[in-house]
Amino acid sequence: MSASQKLLWVFGGIVALLSVASAVGWLLQQRKGDTAVIRNLNERVRAWWLMVAVLGACFWAGAAATLIVFALISFFALREFITLTPTRASDHKPLAIAFYVLVPLQYWLIHLGWYGLFSIFIPVYAFLALPAIAVFAGDTEQFLERTTKIQWGVMIAVYCISYAPALLVLDLRGFHGQGALLLLYLMLVVQISDVMQYVFGKLFGRHKLAPLVSPSKTVEGLVGGGLAATAIGASLWWITPFTPPQSALMSLLIVACGVLGGLALSAVKRSLGAKDWGSMIEGHGGMMDRMDSVSFAAPIFFHITRFFFSG
């Protein structure tokens, strides 16, 4: 089966599942009324339709279009991060560099397939350059805190997220030119994990996982949703270079990293007194609310895959 045929099969399955979810949401609304939980469920399903449509259009248009879309995702995620983290006028120059130089340059390096540079460009060169540029403004008020916020935002929103589309340029044994399938696999496992944790938490949740950080997350949701996502990921081994047991382990790794990413960035939100990063996506909050799990899972998944399965 060719890569394009595999993509069609997977997207066909996703469309079928979303159709069922939409029908269930409509029936629940008719029978139970427009409660907060049902309304949130339907908003999430509608957002999923949009996200699947965008991802499908990217894969149809090719790798360059996918990189452009993810560059925009990084741009909006960084904007949300910076909006919630107060800055000063003296930070405008490093912020301009972050938005209009680092974002496009990081994705351009990925487009070139220049692994040796895109893997260190931000954590080495940008990490040192941003405070060096800021220092010439002569503003030392909370300099360490301000600089760290910008560096952390660039690392999470740009560097870490960029590793998702970087899967497109991986050269793996017996898997040449099928990077889109690997990207789809990562995104599916991450998002299915989030959805299943939400469902299991609502149905069986009793014990809070981290009540001061993320009050809605429960131990039951984590275990049930994580295992369900791992099982689904294992069943998708046929679109990856992995065997079924390897796919299960990779899915478990993605789930674990995604959970840690969600918790860590929830802690950042709580420290800033915010519930969501933004309101860009109906039912999901902001762009960063959808990409927090991806930001932790993508770079780990990329490097583990490259180390063990590269040609």
User: What was the pLDDT predicted at 4?
Assistant: 78
Q: Which two tokens stand for residue 186?
A: 């990562």
3-state secondary structure at position 281: strand
234-262 burial, b for 16+ CB within 10 Å, e for fewer? bebbebbbbeeeebbbbbbbbbbbbbebb
Q: Work out the number of other CB atoms within 10 angstroms of the CB of residue 103.
A: 22
CA distance 116 to 289: 30
In sequence order, what DSSP letters do the residues of 87-110 get, joined into one string? --GGGHHHHHHIIIIIHHHHHHHH
Q: Which two tokens stand for residue 124?
A: 């080495």
- The letter for the amino acid at 252 is L
In sequence order, what DSSP letters do the residues of 21-71 get, joined into one string? HHHHHHHHHHHH-S-HHHHHHHHHHHHHHHHHHHHHHHHHH-HHHHHHHHH
126-142 burial, b for 16+ CB within 10 Å, e for fewer? bbebbbebbeeeeeeee
Residue 172 backbone phi and psi in degrees, to 5: -110, 155
Q: For every one of its 311 residues, what pLDDT tens digit does the chain have, with 9 covering 90 and above?
A: 777 788 888 888 888 888 887 887 778 777 777 777 677 777 777 777 888 888 888 888 888 999 999 999 999 999 999 988 878 888 999 999 999 999 999 999 999 999 999 999 999 999 999 999 999 988 888 899 899 999 999 999 999 999 999 999 998 888 888 888 999 999 999 988 888 888 788 778 788 888 878 877 888 888 988 999 999 999 999 999 999 999 999 999 999 999 999 999 989 888 888 777 766 665 567 888 888 999 999 999 999 999 999 86
DSSP single-letter state for residue 311:
-
Task: Let me know: does 133 contact 49? Beta carbons within 8 Å.
Answer: no
Domain ranges of the chain: 1-61, 62-309
Helix (H) or strand (E) holding 210: strand 208-210
Q: Which two tokens stand for residue 164?
A: 């998702």
- The letter for the amino acid at 210 is A
